[in-house]
Amino acid sequence: MNPSSSKAEKKKNNDDFKHRELREIILSAIGLSVLLGGTFLITPNFPIVYSGILKLIEELTTKKIPEAKAKRVLKNLEKKEILTLEKRGDQVLVYLKGWNSTILKYSLRSLLDLKKKEKKWQGKWFLVIFDVPEIQRNKRNYLRSFLHYIGFYPYQQSVYVFPYECEDEIVLVKKIVESAKYISYVVAEKIEFEDEAKRHFGLA
């Protein structure tokens, strides 16, 4: 193999990864803007100011993303019909064309991360318990990976826990995974063997 072509391929893969990472961050900030801007609605129907998205990205990541790169990602998302951009005066308004599971997944993860950073633990546990039938095991597996991705701790195979109130977020999870009838949300004052969960969330 030509060493120079190997280096070029490696650089291309790194650039692709960075682009994907930036895309995730921007989608997360857009979705989070909607969630924090009002109620937990599945159909966003108000614009988000572009400058506000950049500010939120900095708060979420403590990084300053080059404006040109962010605009490129937004333009690509507009081409894919995920959002619409509108220039109004000296501002750019961003409209979501609806929710999809990817945007909500990134947004929920960021929202729960914010709760972990900003809230003081009150000693309670918030549990998601589910019993998805074997015939729908793909949905069950997706639900497990989804909960793990957004920050829940796998307490048991079908029981996931979080240390801060998250009922609204679980309402969204039910809609995303289309499994509302199989999921229960429980608040517990104490759980057995909680030391490992406390270590996982940095509470020990």
pLDDT in tens, 131-188: 988 888 888 899 999 999 999 999 998 999 999 999 989 988 888 887 778 899 999 9
Pull the structure tokens for residue 22: 């930036």
Pull the structure tokens for residue 125: 């546990």
Higher pLDDT, 155 or 4: 155
Domains observed in the chain:
3-101 (1.10.10.10), 119-200 (3.30.70.240)
Distances (CA, A) of 110 to 65, 100, 198: 17, 16, 20
Residue 23: closest CA among 69, 55, 60: 69
Pull the structure tokens for residue 153: 């701790």
Q: What pLDDT, on a 0 to 100 scale, did the predictor assign at position 13?
A: 42
* Spatial separation of the C-alpha atoms in residues 113 and 34, rounded to whole Å: 16
Produce one character per residue of 74-107: b if its CB has 16 or more CB atoms within 10 Å, e if not.
beebeeeebbeeeeeeeebebbbeebeeebbbbb
What's the whole-model pTM score?
0.79
Distances (CA, A) of 77 to 49, 125, 178: 16, 38, 25
Tens-place pLDDT, residues 112-121:
998 998 899 9
Contact 171, 40 (CB under 8 A): yes
Mean pLDDT of 100-112: 88
pLDDT band at 3 (very low <50, low <70, confident <90, very high): low
Phi, psi of 126 (to 5 degrees): -115, 115
Pull the structure tokens for residue 164: 């801060």
Amino acid, res. 12:
K
Among the residues of the chain, which ranges form H helices?
A: 3-37, 50-61, 67-79, 101-118, 137-150, 167-177, 195-200
Query: Given its phi and psi angles, is residue 183 left (phi above 0), alpha (psi -120 to 50 degrees) or beta?
Result: beta
Mean pLDDT of 23-47: 76
User: Which residues pair with residue 86 across a beta bridge?
Assistant: 93
Higher pLDDT, 17 or 108: 108
